[in-house]
Amino acid sequence: MPKLKPSATHADLETVLVSESAIKRRLKKLGEDISHAYGDEEITVVAIINGAILFTADLIRAIRNPIRLDCIRISSYRNDTRSHGRPQLLHSLQLDIANRHVLLIDDILDTGKTLAVVVEMIKKQSPASVRTCVLLDKIGRREVEFEADFVGFQIPDRFVVGYGLDFAERYRNLPCIGVLKPHLQNPPEWA
């Protein structure tokens, strides 16, 4: 058996905020809460990719209900002056969600703009219900009023990576969630 070495990218973290084992434990409980909330109903899970890929993959295995899975992709409004700060839909739903119970999953609730816009879009397709689930909630950062129905962890206002969350598309594969070292947050070669 090859000997496990600590991942090189761990060295890029200043602090680990949520460990791999804490994520595993929390997801088990979150899966139970979600199963309980939906009773016997089938759930149409809609994951916002790329950020929610890892979280969704693990979470749905902790949910007992029958599940249909779909993904949507949203443009980041963060560095886009043309979109006037409004997230745009880049890849839309393939499944019909009319009269279905939709559980929308995202990696992190920050200003609230992304989820507020996506919930509005989903509601136009007449689902039976829409609930939201986020792995992380930066509660003090909200610019629009929005609360998720299911939250993995509340975290302080720090830029985090790992377990699906990226900086310039890197670090999504870290098994834990942590804060990047400050000197790595704007390397010119990634611009």
Q: Which of 100, 107, 122, 137 binds ligand IMP (CB under 6 A)?
A: 107
Residues between 40 and 59 with contacts to Mg ion, criterion CB under 5 A: 51
In the complex, the smallest distance separating the C-beta of residue 133 from Mg ion, rounded to whole angstroms, is 17
- By CB under 6 A, residue 111 contacts ligand IMP: yes
Active-site annotation holds for 110: yes
The nearer residue to ligand IMP, 63 or 116, going by C-beta atoms, is: 116
- By CB under 6 A, residue 160 contacts ligand IMP: yes
Q: How far apart are CA 143 and CA 1, in angstroms?
A: 50
Q: Which of 45, 114, 137, 176 binds ligand IMP (CB under 6 A)?
A: 114
The nearer residue to ligand IMP, 128 or 168, going by C-beta atoms, is: 168
Q: Which does 58 bind (CB under 5 to 8 A by kind): Mg ion, ligand IMP, none?
A: none
- By CB under 6 A, residue 109 contacts ligand IMP: yes
In the complex, the smallest distance separating the C-beta of residue 166 from Mg ion, rounded to whole angstroms, is 5
Q: Which residues bind ligand IMP (CB under 6 A)?
A: 51, 106-114, 159-160, 165
